[in-house]
Amino acid sequence: MTTTATQPAPPGGPGAPPPEEGRSGIAGLLELPGQAVRAVTRSAATTPGRLTVIAVGLVLLSLLAGLVATLSVQGRKNTINGLIEHREPLAAAAQQVYRALSDADATAASAFLSTGTEPPELRQRYERAVAEAGAALAKAASDSADVTEAAAQVDVLSQRLPVYTGLVETARANNRQGFPAGASYLREASELMRAKLLPAAQELYKVDTLRLADEQDDATGFPWLATLLVLVLLAALIVTQVYLTRRTNRLLNVGLVVATVCVAVSLLWGAAALIVQGVFVGNGQDNGTRQVDALVRTRITALQGRADETLTLVARGDGGGYEKDFAGLAVQLVGQDGRSGLLGEARGLANGGDAAGKIDEASQAAADWLKAHKEVRRFDDDGQYSDAVDLAIRHDRQNGAAPAFQRLDDSLQAAINVGRQAFLDDTRAGDRALTLLAPGLAVLAVVAAAGATMGIRERLREYR
């Protein structure tokens, strides 16, 4: 019998199953997440694997919560420092532009009314007001490039202010030579101030004040994400300890207890510090920013009224429009009853604080000024023009308009200074409340992660 040996078929030959193709490139990368999930699922099917997954989850959650909380606190601290060093000074510069321009307009009209040589003190005040407006405008412009509304107002002010000062100088030159055209040039300058410069300054001030308020709101906002992560971490630690107690019949796990205490301390410390910080920053907004805003609007209204008062006399019988404006501004200033209006609003915001006394002095000065104004109008309407001018602009006249207005302006400036200082004091106190909180939260998060690792590791050793 003949036997025939059969050779085994080579790999890949006919009848052999095709080899399984390996995954590579993008397809392999896309499968990695699925493979990882399956590996974790297989591992979690055993108690040691489940404990490992829990440990990794607690460590990652601890570090993530600590990172988010630390960044949130540090961001808030940076916002507060920005309020003190940058945003509030810029808002103050914007209001200084508005105030200085109003002051220049009122002072130029008063100086124009003076007979003979222009009083040096009025000339110096006018030049100082223009210089202050220019310097404050330069400061306000330093942060306006990225804000379209602010940049547009800065352009208007930069272009129109030299035109205004040129018209005032032309009016002065004509007045010194006795030419009646001087009054026309001064009125043209004042119209430019009211139609272009002051509205632009007012809009710039509104934009910067709104930006200040927005940043104050950011500094007092609730840190929702950081709080949620810390609470989830705390709950996860508690659930893990309950689970281990049931599985091992051991009441306490030192590592997890340490981690829980760290998270609880972080939560309580952060809550207390943020509450105190929020209260102080809020007080700075109420007793500082809002009060200063009301006082600035009050002061500008008074300055515009002063300009109307003097321009009515410059117009010499043709100033009915200015007097009508003055009457409206007087109502804005003190209200129909003489106790409300902008001064009443500022008094309410002061609420018996440090600025209240200055505001009361301003209210009395406003009453004296409006009383003197009535006398000025009576003299002018009776044809006693020289007496009207003297009562309006001379500082040595008893019960005159000029000294009363000066007391009003000085009192308002003093109250503004008190408000700005209140803002700085309260906001700095808010900043101090966050001292060491950011690094403290970071350290506590690391300790919590280490505690969770050690606590789970002790249980894992029991399975070896």
pLDDT digit string (tens) for 48-70?
Answer: 777 888 889 999 999 999 999 99
The Cα 361–Cα 365 span in angstroms is 6
C-alpha closest to that of 287 among 109, 422, 111: 422
Say if 196 falls within a structural domain.
yes
Residue 351 has what pLDDT?
Answer: 81
Say if 363 falls within a structural domain.
yes
The Cα 192–Cα 199 span in angstroms is 10
pTM of the model: 0.80
Say if 411 falls within a structural domain.
yes
Say if 8 falls within a structural domain.
no
Say if 244 falls within a structural domain.
yes
The Cα 312–Cα 128 span in angstroms is 24
Range of the domain at 218: 67-461
Lowest mean pLDDT among 193-202, 249-258, 394-403, 432-441: 249-258
Domain count, the chain: 1
Say if 270 falls within a structural domain.
yes
Most confident of 379-383, 394-398, 443-447: 443-447
Tell me the pLDDT tens digit for each residue of 428-458.
999 999 999 999 999 999 999 999 999 888 8
Say if 3 falls within a structural domain.
no
pLDDT confidence tier of residue 463, bands split at 50, 70 and 90: low
Predicted confidence (pLDDT) at residue 249 exceeds the cutoff of 90 = no
From start to end of 67-223, where are the E strands? Answer: none
Predicted confidence (pLDDT) at residue 147 exceeds the cutoff of 60 = yes
Question: What's the chain's Rg over C-alpha atoms?
Answer: 37
Which residue is associated with the tokens 């590996």? 39
Say if 285 falls within a structural domain.
yes
